[in-house]
Structure 1
């Protein structure tokens, strides 16, 4: 299977973007560099230590810094500043962004508690619902996430409400509906000055949906449109590299990932580039990058990045390495968030450890929401094959290849070979 760099619904890019562009009551634009914001609010607080809006602004600045640097220490600073703001004066901004801090720390129940408080106090403002929806989504409570998204839409159909609704449609298997709502969000974003800078992000989400359907032409068109507006957009470059890998254009994929790594030393990008090097027959470079990615994941986990449990487990699964540790990591990940991909990861770990009865229970839990992703179907097919259920194995392998024949270079080849083994009905 492909190394894990995130999926269509669990990376929470929307959190960062909403932090940047939802209008807040702050004198310094949230689009300014976080360090500039931090200095500004610290200077304000030096003059007036009881100025609650400055504590709220400082908390948001620390939150942006945490997202920009992947340094979890800034989440603690953000939490302290926002709580101090609330102590001085109950206020909307501090309450709302505390939920975002807890999402960043994977303290989802606390995020939900603050999200519910925000909604109860400011129920007519769609911004109140954003982080509550994100938190429910993160723990795999897709029913409540969808309910919150629908409440937002009922108040106002705008960029933020439509993009959240689209995400919920996608995970529940309504890919066409997700594309339709994301296209509507794109139209509205282009019309609104505040949201216009988010159009590349929307294009990338559309591209990801199209890629998930196996429509590489539309996916590439969406990524290229994003890059036309924002030539250095990291998310667009990353997913264009993924697409080039699927097309077996490894030379271009390598160039794109290396371009990203010059900007930021991301373990996700190192792991992805290692896979491309391996596909291209450059084993020494692949091994070097894989070790670097593993070391970075381990370091991040020690520093509190619990979201990297899944990444490291998937890295081990990809290379059939440290499978006992991968199981521990997958179990920890499931404890933190019970979403589709936590169950899928656990199912595949059980499969690799030859614990097929446990694997089938986990994959059934992953599939219960109706998410239409080829990787899920592939895992289900392989698990049922090991259990001797040829009919179900054949059905899921067919669905994997029909959903997206390009979902993974190696796994797609395995699925085709396995189809010959399980035979016709």
Structure 2
């Protein structure tokens, strides 16, 4: 599945985003600007407000935004993760400055999709710009449904993911000391999905913290700070940012109860922590406050997908396309079509998104998922070309680097794949990448224990930050650990989120525990929508064979070969959709 959520997971609607996006100023059709509502009538800096603000921001946070302290004990494995993460921050910043020749800044906020999660899951982090209205959190008035991209004068797009990135327009209004170019009429500020880099989002966090030291009653700045922390958690694989996001969003909610942007930020945080029921409720409240907020509809769609409520998710995606057709809504529609087995339509929607993508990071995002579609249909050469095109657009886009490693492994070049995976996990030690790397090492006859140690460190970090991700551990334990532990994790995940992937995880765990008869009903559920996922059908074939259902097993196995002739059951993590 494709992440936002994501943890940095590869789950539907929970995807991880590693891009950068520029903030921009939004104009309406009449060419006028709309006032930034972050300027309050009372900008007086009171002593008690300062103390309260510091208690949320933390005294060391204003000047040290990159160095969050992990919430778990500082074990060696956790230190390894932190070292890799910080090294990637420095690398990404240097590379981007070399390409652009400028220092990027802006108010980039946090997702829905890593969705690594992943949440993450999958296409949750793209937001077409549209024309912002004065109504709430960034939606345009409804118009005729568009299914193809349109030309735009400005772009704010986000990847995600697992994960619903948010971009804040009207940067000048939020940066202290910035003088307006014209009379004091600023662009409207709103939550937007956008691709961001670790460096750019850290700068945005710092700018917001400085502003909040001056204006501690600015609820929108608090909301955007919370959203930025969610984004930091996803793009750095550091879940210690989630509690910070929770504090900032709670402060925003206390200042402006019922504000649609605050509610949208809280929905994004809930999705990032895999609290999808809560994410739906918060998104519903945001939509009630502002029916034209496209981002809230997108977060709602991602969470409904995670909950296995696919028809409702489709409706939410259609509504999002009505409000703001663009990269974000088209990529969500692509995944929705893929889950229903319509690969051609999924590719068409990605093509629409690609045509609508103006920023290099948006191009990379679309190219990457076109590569994933190709790879999981067995077309390794085409997949490699798409990953290369993604990296040509955005050389630091880690998912495409992982895609290259995946393509090398699937094509049998395991030693090269191992080297490529090592570079990937050095940059971003997401659970998905660690498991894929470990499986390649096993195939090479090498010891994967270092990767499993890092994976366990990630589990402890996620749990300490309030992230529930039983799915990752159900899959890992079933393939590489204890079948009984796999069953426990899979049941817990399925009870909360009865989606296709959770059903498959439970089926496979039960089979590995010797309970194939019980497993079959879940294997059938996992393959019930027509999704052309070779791994799910392989699991069903194995379960049917174990039950003596020879004819059914042959049909399922034949379907596996039809879907993906390159499928390798000894590399199951590589067959899971990112």
- Would you call these one fold, judging by a TM-score over 0.5? yes
- Partner of residue 94, structure 1: 262
CA separation of 1:127 and 1:235: change in aligned 2, threshold 3 A: same
Name the CA distance, whole Å, in 1 between partners of 2:236 and 2:227: 14
- Partner of residue 144, structure 1: 312
Name the CA distance, whole Å, in 2 between partners of 1:5 and 1:113: 22
Q: CA deviation at 1:25?
A: 5.3
- By percentage of residues, which structure has more helix? 1
Q: CA deviation at 1:256?
A: 0.9
Q: CA deviation at 1:342?
A: 0.6
Name the CA distance, whole Å, in 2 between partners of 1:88 and 1:21: 20
Q: Give unpaired runs (5+ residues) of structure 1.
A: 413-425
* The 10-residue stretch of structure 1 (244-253 or 84-93) with the greater mean CA deviation from structure 2: 84-93
- Partner of residue 132, structure 1: 300
**Secondary structure at 2:565 match in 1:** coil
Name the CA distance, whole Å, in 2 between partners of 1:182 and 1:36: 31
- Partner of residue 169, structure 1: 337
Q: Which of the residues 468, 474, 489 maps onto 1:329?
A: 489
Q: CA deviation at 1:201?
A: 0.8
Alignment of 1:320-399 (within 5 A): 321-399=481-559
- Partner of residue 81, structure 1: 248
Q: Which of the residues 83, 92, 117 maps onto 2:285?
A: 117
* The 10-residue stretch of structure 1 (246-255 or 153-162) with the greater mean CA deviation from structure 2: 153-162
Partner deviation per Cα, 1:361-383 (whole Å, 9 max, x = no partner): 11112112221111111111111
CA separation of 1:292 and 1:127: change in aligned 2, threshold 3 A: same
Aligned residue pairs: how many? 401
- Partner of residue 433, structure 2: 269
Q: CA deviation at 1:317?
A: 2.0
Name the CA distance, whole Å, in 1 between partners of 2:409 and 2:328: 31
Contact 2:378-2:565 within 8 A present in 1 as well: yes
CA separation of 1:7 and 1:375: change in aligned 2, threshold 3 A: farther
Name the CA distance, whole Å, in 1 between partners of 2:563 and 2:323: 34
Q: CA deviation at 1:351?
A: 0.8
Q: Give unpaired runs (5+ residues) of structure 2.
A: 1-7, 16-112, 115-122, 126-157, 176-188, 573-578
- Partner of residue 227, structure 1: 391
Name the CA distance, whole Å, in 1 between partners of 2:451 and 2:207: 40
Contact 1:52-1:88 within 8 A present in 2 as well: yes
- Partner of residue 56, structure 1: 223
Q: Which of the residues 477, 480, 485 maps onto 1:316?
A: 477
2:341 matches 1:180:
no
CA separation of 1:411 and 1:189: change in aligned 2, threshold 3 A: closer
**Secondary structure at 2:551 match in 1:** helix
Q: CA deviation at 1:68?
A: 2.6
Name the CA distance, whole Å, in 1 between partners of 2:360 and 2:424: 24
**Secondary structure at 2:378 match in 1:** coil
Partner deviation per Cα, 1:14-67 (whole Å, 9 max, x = no partner): 445355565545536974633333332222222222122221222122212222
Q: CA deviation at 1:171?
A: 0.9
Name the CA distance, whole Å, in 1 between partners of 2:227 and 2:166: 12
Q: CA deviation at 1:402?
A: 0.9
- Partner of residue 362, structure 2: 198
* The 10-residue stretch of structure 1 (162-171 or 260-269) with the greater mean CA deviation from structure 2: 260-269
Contact 1:34-1:61 within 8 A present in 2 as well: yes
Name the CA distance, whole Å, in 2 between partners of 1:240 and 1:354: 36
**Secondary structure at 2:570 match in 1:** helix
Partner deviation per Cα, 1:155-195 (whole Å, 9 max, x = no partner): 342212111111111111111101001111100113xxxx5
Q: CA deviation at 1:8?
A: 6.8
CA separation of 1:372 and 1:100: change in aligned 2, threshold 3 A: same
2:159 matches 1:159:
no
**Secondary structure at 1:370 match in 2:** coil
Q: CA deviation at 1:130?
A: 1.3
2:452 matches 1:291:
yes
Name the CA distance, whole Å, in 1 between partners of 2:498 and 2:569: 28
Name the CA distance, whole Å, in 2 between partners of 1:306 and 1:355: 29
Name the CA distance, whole Å, in 1 between partners of 2:205 and 2:413: 43
Q: For the aligned residues, what is the CA RMSD?
A: 2.4
